Amino acid sequence: ATLPPRASGSTFGNETDLAALLDLKKRITPLHVMSSWNDSIHFCSWVGVTCNNSTNRVIILKLNSKNLVGSLPPSIGNLSHLTGINLVNNSFSGEIPQEMGRLQSLRSLNLSYNSFGGKIPTNISHCTQLSMLDLQHNEITGSVPDQLSSLMSLNHLWLTINNLTGTIPNWIGNFSSLKSLLGQNNFHGSIPNELGRLTSLESLGLDSNNLSGMVPSSIYNISSMSLFSVLDNQLHGELPPNIGINLPNLQLFAGGLNKFTGTIPTSFSNSSRLRALDLGYNGLVGTLPAANLGRLQRLVWINFSHNRLESGKTGNLNFLSFLANCTSLQSLALNNNHFEGELPRSIGNLSTQLNSLVLGRNLIRGSIPDDIGNLLSLNVIGMEQNYLSGIVPDGIGKLQKLVTLNLRTNRFSGLIPSSIGNLTSLTLLYMYENRFAGSIPPNIGNCQSLLELDLSNNNMSGTIPRELVGISSLSISLYLSNNYLTGSLPSEVGDLIHLVELDVSGNKLSSEIPTTLGHCIMLMHLRLEGNEFEGTIPQSLKNLRSLEEIDISRNNLSGQIPEFLGKFPFLHYLNLSYNDFEGELPKEGIFSNASGLSVIGNNRLCGGLPKLRLHACSIKKSHSSQRLLAPKVVIPIACALAFIISLSCFIVARSKVKKSRGGPVGSRSYEGWKSISYLELVQSTGGFSMDNLIGSGSFGSVYKGVLPTDGRVVAVKVFNLQQRGASKSFIDECKVLRSILPHRNLLKIISACSSIDNQGNNFNSLIFEFMENGSLDSWLHPRDDDESQSKRLSLIRRLNIAIDVASALDHLHHLCETTIVHCDLKPSNPSNVLLGEDMVAHVGDFGLARFLLEASDSSSQSQTISAGLKGSICYIPPENGLSQIHIGLSCSALSPSEQMQMNVVVNKMKATRDSYLNFRGRRKRS
Ligand SMILES: Nc1ncnc2c1ncn2[C@@H]1O[C@H](COP(=O)(O)OP(=O)(O)OP(=O)(O)O)[C@@H](O)[C@H]1O
């Protein structure tokens, strides 16, 4: 009803409704969305409000998808004429008020996709007219209250994705008009028999609970059922033979990830509307009733992976021909079964819509028919770990949409078809553990979307094509190990600037290690062992500070072992054995710990830890070191040191006196921090010139500077004291910074300067170590105009950053004297995570940090972890992706007791990283 504008909304309508709406408005931000909720128009014309024409009472409140943040006030219960509430897809939190129970005309309550917590209010039981209760995707806890048994008019009960516990109440079986019941929660126990009485039920979704026992047979008789999904529980038993006859309306049947046994009922062919059949990860036996399934023209999705199915008496795969009749089929997953026999040519007749064909880990023999090239929609081919042989047909090059091609661990031979270069969308190519021979086709270099390429453990010869190592998209790994490759490692390897793992070991590669390898700054694992490389270790490799493992053993390398290897912070495995290195071993880092180091078979090396059993280095050196210890040398050095120490004591003492006098233009430094004056800061930042301005935040600007005293590069954060709150932020930040014990992942404070500037105004600044790779934000969200456009973070780098951030928080939460909560780490704009020289993340900006006792909202303490994960889930294997989501959810739980401890987060993230690096189910590398 459109009512004429009025000066006062209350004149026309009901005072109670107006008051309740205003009360609601008070709790909601952002205000601009609610700007129409003002006095100038009647509340019946406010956005999202619908009134009854004659009574002017609010009947519908519809504020879905408006980015609203807030909570529901108890006064919502005063909108007593409401029939519908729709707040879907906002960020409402807090409990759903019990006063909702006063809305006795309510027929539809949809609060889904918010962050409501607490329990389901028992008073909702008074809303007996409710036909739709949708609370899905919230954080609701507790069990489903028995009081809800009075909601006999319910058509739809959607509780999915909450934290509900307990059992599924059997009284739901009395809701005779119930059409859909969805609940992915933590329910346990069995599915109540009573649900079989729901004769109007169309959708039953009970995925991902802890349900056990058998599915009551009466449920398989609800003929109205179109969607049945109980994925990921512990249900057991056999599927009834007449299932398809009794469920003629079935469109989706998903029982994957359970313990179902027995055979696949042929009667599914009677469910003529069936679109998806998912029974993967069960204990099903027997054959695939393909002739029956072939009658299901609408079938889009078939998944019987991870069962014990077999080819049956025929011992072949000809049954696949029947599936050609499923003209809508998009995904066929039969992997991890006992299917045997050859792939029939008719595989090329499968639906042209097929985008995923997954047949890996069976006993399939023979070759891949060339006709596979007909399946033009294919994104994924998985045929790994079978007994496939012969050549890979050229036709594969027609599959231009292919993203994953997994042919590993088979008996393929011959050349890799050059048509592979047509597969420009390919991201993962696994052909390892086969018998491929000949050269690697150079046009593989056209596959410019590849993230990972593994051709290892084949019989390939010839040189490594330049084009291959020029695939700059490669950012997970490149494995060419254990072949017969010759020639040099092409200098184009330097294009692999995102690559994490490079393994060309066990070939016949010769010449020098290219200096361009030093460009691959993301490398964590470098394996060149078992080749014929010669010359020295190039100096350029000193850039590769992320390296964790280096194996260059069994080559012809010579020269000195460079010092920089001892400075790599993460290096824990270095194998230099069986080369011809000479001279003294460096002493630092990896060289100080014999367990990760191997140098045997280098007879001209000397020094090092006694455990390495190298001979002592030449007298000349020890002579000179003895000379160093001679009194002639020692005495002047000692005197100089004593002088320096007394001088610094004097300076410190003098500065303390100055401090206590509080001289107007003196600067104040803090104990243990370097003393830096205002003038020094002016000098170091070129007079705070625009050229040195790094950026500005809410309370001031940050400048790059070089300290005149020691040449150290710093970031000077100058507080804009005109800005309200800036002075307090400076004091608070100093307070927190002084109490933090240093940590590798915390931004290091060098000094604070509290002084008077050259115009006589107060001047406050903090001086930090300069982070040369800027903020994480600038990497995750490069600006259009920015040279940072070219910035890209590999997944592994993102994981490492997330681990760094979590480690910093762990330190703040658990390892400082008083627990400190940061309170200002925003996943959407992680400008307070800064990246140092080696891309090591440092958490900074403690302006809002609180000692735990002071923290008003401890829930904010763990908001960060998702920052590092954003955008990365897509490359994580699904099980790891889930574990990341789990970590994210746990960290953002509102109640501190439910939040995961940061040290657990760190460990879990590390486990994810490690398992990610080993993902692809590859064999263990020695
Ligand atoms: N030690 C540092 N090294 C390099 N850049 C830094 C350093 N400290 C801060 N910066 C950069 O300076 C800019 C301003 O930082 P500042 O902490 O003042 O504000 P912010 O974090 O962007 O915003 P806000 O204070 O509103 O949260 C940011 O771009 C930040 O990445």
| ipTM metric | 0.97
Residues for the chain: how many in total? 926
Any ligand 1 atom below 6 A from CB of 775 = yes
Any ligand 1 atom below 6 A from CB of 844 = yes
Residue 315's SS3 state is coil
CA distance linking residue 185 with residue 191, whole number of Å: 13
Please report, for residues 357, 372, 592, the alpha-carbon distance to residue 416 in angstroms, rounded to integers and kept in the order given. Answer: 20, 16, 45
Give the ligand 1 atom nearest the CA of 747. 1
Structural tokens at position 753? 């300067």
The protein residue with its alpha carbon nearest to ligand 1, atom 8, reads: 715
Phi and psi at 617, nearest 5°, equal -80, 165
Q: How many C-beta neighbours within 10 Å does residue 634 have?
A: 11
* Cβ-based burial of 539 (10 A; exposed 0-12, middle 13-18, buried ≥19): exposed
Question: Letter for the amino acid at 572?
Answer: H
CA-nearest of 720, 828, 853 to 775 is 828
Q: How many C-beta neighbours within 10 Å does residue 648 have?
A: 10
The protein residue with its alpha carbon nearest to ligand 1, atom 1, reads: 770
**Terminal CA-CA length for the chain:** 75
Any ligand 1 atom below 6 A from CB of 768 = yes
CA distance linking residue 73 with residue 28, whole number of Å: 10
Q: Which residues pair with 615 in a beta bridge?
A: 606
Q: What is the DSSP string of 574-607?
A: EE--SSEEEEEPP-SGGGG-GGGEE-TT-TEEE-
Q: Which residues pair with 454 in a beta bridge?
A: 430, 479
pLDDT at 642 over 60: no
DSSP strand pairing (69-70 vs 28-29): antiparallel
Any ligand 1 atom below 6 A from CB of 319 = no
C-beta separation of 471 from 450 below 8 A:
yes
pLDDT (mean) for 157-167: 95
pLDDT of residue 622: 41
Q: Could you tell me the distance, in angstroms and rounded to a whole number, from the CA of residue 695 to the centre of ligand 1?
A: 6
Q: How many C-beta neighbours within 10 Å does residue 303 have?
A: 21
**By mean pLDDT, which of 76-90, 467-481, 552-566, 804-818 is the weakest?**
804-818
pLDDT of residue 41: 93
Probe target for ligand 1 pocket from 692, 693, 694, 768, with the most ligand atoms within 8 Å of CB: 694
Any ligand 1 atom below 6 A from CB of 703 = no
pLDDT digits (tens, 9 = 90+) for 257-302: 999 999 999 999 999 999 999 999 999 999 999 999 999 999 999 9
Q: Could you tell me the distance, in angstroms and rounded to a whole number, from the CA of residue 547 to the centre of ligand 1?
A: 28
Q: Could you tell me the distance, in angstroms and rounded to a whole number, from the CA of residue 712 to the centre of ligand 1?
A: 19
pLDDT (mean) for 51-70: 94
What's the pLDDT band for 757 if we cut at 50, 70, 90? confident
Give the ligand 1 atom nearest the CA of 695. 13
Phi and psi at 43, nearest 5°, equal -60, -20
CA distance linking residue 114 with residue 69, whole number of Å: 9
pLDDT at 639 over 50: no
Share of residues in the chain with pLDDT > 70 (%): 84
pLDDT of residue 24: 96
Q: Could you tell me the distance, in angstroms and rounded to a whole number, from the CA of residue 706 to the centre of ligand 1?
A: 17
pLDDT at 99 over 60: yes
On whether the pTM is more than 0.80, the answer is no
What's the pLDDT band for 346 if we cut at 50, 70, 90? very high
Match 């017969």 to its residue by tokens: 484
pLDDT at 667 over 50: no
> 131-140 b/e with 16+ CB inside 10 Å = b?
bbbbbbbbbb
CA-nearest of 889, 887, 823, 886 to 860 is 823
The protein residue with its alpha carbon nearest to ligand 1, atom 16, reads: 697
Any ligand 1 atom below 6 A from CB of 179 = no
pLDDT of residue 727: 84
CA-nearest of 301, 311, 485 to 386 is 311
Match 């038993």 to its residue by tokens: 237
Q: What is the DSSP string of 243-310?
A: HHHH-TT--EEE--SSEEEEPPPGGGGG-TT--EEE--SSEEEE---HHHHTT-TT--EEE--SSEEB
Position with higher pLDDT, 886 vs 776:
776
Share of residues in the chain with pLDDT > 90 (%): 66
pLDDT at 734 over 90: no
pLDDT at 636 over 50: no
Give the ligand 1 atom nearest the CA of 845. 17
Probe target for ligand 1 pocket from 843, 845, 846, with the most ligand atoms within 8 Å of CB: 845
Probe target for ligand 1 pocket from 702, 747, 837, with the most ligand atoms within 8 Å of CB: 702
pLDDT of residue 597: 95
Q: Which residues belong to the active site?
A: 824
pLDDT of residue 433: 97
What's the pLDDT band for 893 if we cut at 50, 70, 90? low
CA-nearest of 490, 453, 494, 445 to 471 is 445
What's the pLDDT band for 668 if we cut at 50, 70, 90? very low
pLDDT of residue 785: 57
C-beta separation of 273 from 250 below 8 A:
yes
CA-nearest of 313, 302, 215 to 258 is 215
Question: Letter for the amino acid at 466?
Answer: R
DSSP state of 864: -
pLDDT (mean) for 519-530: 94
Position with higher pLDDT, 888 vs 457:
457
Position with higher pLDDT, 161 vs 667:
161
Any ligand 1 atom below 6 A from CB of 823 = no
pLDDT digits (tens, 9 = 90+) for 445-480: 999 999 999 999 999 999 999 999 999 999 889 999
Q: How many C-beta neighbours within 10 Å does residue 525 have?
A: 19
Any ligand 1 atom below 6 A from CB of 845 = yes
Any ligand 1 atom below 6 A from CB of 247 = no
Please report, for residues 8, 490, 593, 600, the alpha-carbon distance to residue 553 in angstroms, rounded to integers and kept in the order given. Answer: 85, 20, 18, 9
pLDDT (mean) for 738-761: 84
pLDDT digits (tens, 9 = 90+) for 841-880: 999 988 777 776 433 333 333 332 222 222 222 233 444 4
pLDDT digits (tens, 9 = 90+) for 372-417: 999 999 999 999 999 999 999 999 999 999 999 999 999 999 999 9
Radius of gyration (C-alpha) of the chain in whole angstroms: 34
pLDDT of residue 849: 76
Position with higher pLDDT, 397 vs 644:
397
pLDDT of residue 889: 54
CA distance linking residue 347 with residue 61, whole number of Å: 55
Q: Could you tell me the distance, in angstroms and rounded to a whole number, from the CA of residue 702 to the centre of ligand 1?
A: 6
Please report, for residues 254, 285, 303, 345, 415, the alpha-carbon distance to residue 309 in angstroms, rounded to integers and kept in the order given. Answer: 17, 5, 12, 22, 33
pLDDT (mean) for 888-898: 57
C-beta separation of 253 from 226 below 8 A:
no
pLDDT of residue 915: 62
pLDDT of residue 32: 81
Any ligand 1 atom below 6 A from CB of 729 = no
Mean pLDDT of the chain: 85
Any ligand 1 atom below 6 A from CB of 831 = yes
12-26, 237-251, 632-646, range with greatest mean pLDDT: 237-251
Any ligand 1 atom below 6 A from CB of 694 = yes
Question: Letter for the amino acid at 381?
Answer: I
Q: Could you tell me the distance, in angstroms and rounded to a whole number, from the CA of residue 112 to the centre of ligand 1?
A: 37
> 42-59 b/e with 16+ CB inside 10 Å = b?
bbbbbebbbbeeeebbbb
pLDDT of residue 818: 73
Please report, for residues 534, 536, 613, the alpha-carbon distance to residue 559 in angstroms, rounded to integers and kept in the order given. Answer: 10, 5, 20
Cα dihedral across residues 149, 151, 157, 159: positive or negative:
negative
pLDDT at 520 over 60: yes
DSSP strand pairing (525-527 vs 549-551): parallel
Q: Could you tell me the distance, in angstroms and rounded to a whole number, from the CA of residue 832 to the centre of ligand 1?
A: 6
The protein residue with its alpha carbon nearest to ligand 1, atom 4, reads: 771
Give the ligand 1 atom nearest the CA of 768. 1
Give the ligand 1 atom nearest the CA of 696. 14
User: SS3 sequence, 830-859?
Assistant: CCCEEECCCCCEEECCCCCCEEHHHCCCHH
Match 């069962």 to its residue by tokens: 307
Taking the mean position of all CA atoms in its chain, how far away is CA 186? 24
Residue 646's SS3 state is helix
